Amino acid sequence: MVDKGQLWTVMPLLAVGTYLIRFSFLGMLGNRPLPAWLTRALRYTAVAVLPGLVAPGVLWPAATGGHPDPARLAAAGMTLLVGVITRSVLGAILGGAVTLYACLALMG
């Protein structure tokens, strides 16, 4: 469960921060070019943050008390595989969900 006090702190600050990120160059800084090293780093933000955010939960899911779970590992693997092959976010989600439910059903 999410703490409501924290939610009402995070939500407005995240909204304002995200807006400022979007507004930055479009709104204020105009055509000033970014230093090359910064554009280079920014290119890898999504791919640097998202896998690290889920990896511990995939290997040690809270739902199984922190023990590695074959169904969840298989689902994660299938999601990546389908996503890499088809380049489709939706296809990857479907592949992962079908694998998860199939494994959970098989293992009772």
Partner 1 sequence: MTETSAAFWRGARHSLPFTIVVIPFAMLFGVVATEAGLNVLETMMFSVTVFAGASQFAALQLMQDNAPTLIVLATALAVNLRMVMYSVALAPHLGRAPLGWRALMAYFLVDQSFAVSSIEYERNPDLPIMAKVAFFFGALLPVAPVWYVASLGGALAGRAIPPEYALDFALPITFLAMVAPLLRSLPHILAAGVSILMSLLLAGLPWGTGVLGAAACAMAAGAVLDWRLEQGRHHG
**Scanning residues 64 to 103, which ones bind partner 1 (CB under 8 A)?**
71-72, 75-76, 79-84, 87-90, 92-93, 96-97, 100-101
Q: How far is the CB of 69 from partner 1 (least distance, A)?
A: 9
Sign of CA dihedral 89, 84, 69, 104: positive
Q: How far is the CB of 67 from partner 1 (least distance, A)?
A: 14
106 touching partner 1, by CB under 8 A? no
Q: How far is the CB of 73 from partner 1 (least distance, A)?
A: 11
45 touching partner 1, by CB under 8 A? yes
Residues in 12-41 at the binding interface with partner 1, rule: CB under 8 A: 12-15, 17-19, 21-27, 29-31, 33-34, 37, 39-41
- Binding residues for partner 1, rule CB under 8 A, total 74
> Which string of b and e fits 61-81 if b means at least 16 CB within 10 Å?
beeeeeeebebbeebbebbee
Which class for 96: exposed (0-12), middle (13-18), buried (19 or more C-beta within 10 A)? buried
Q: CA angle at residue 35 from 20 to 32, to 5 degrees?
A: 60
Q: How far is the CB of 70 from partner 1 (least distance, A)?
A: 13
How far is Cα 21 from Cα 45, in angstroms, rounded to an integer?
Answer: 13
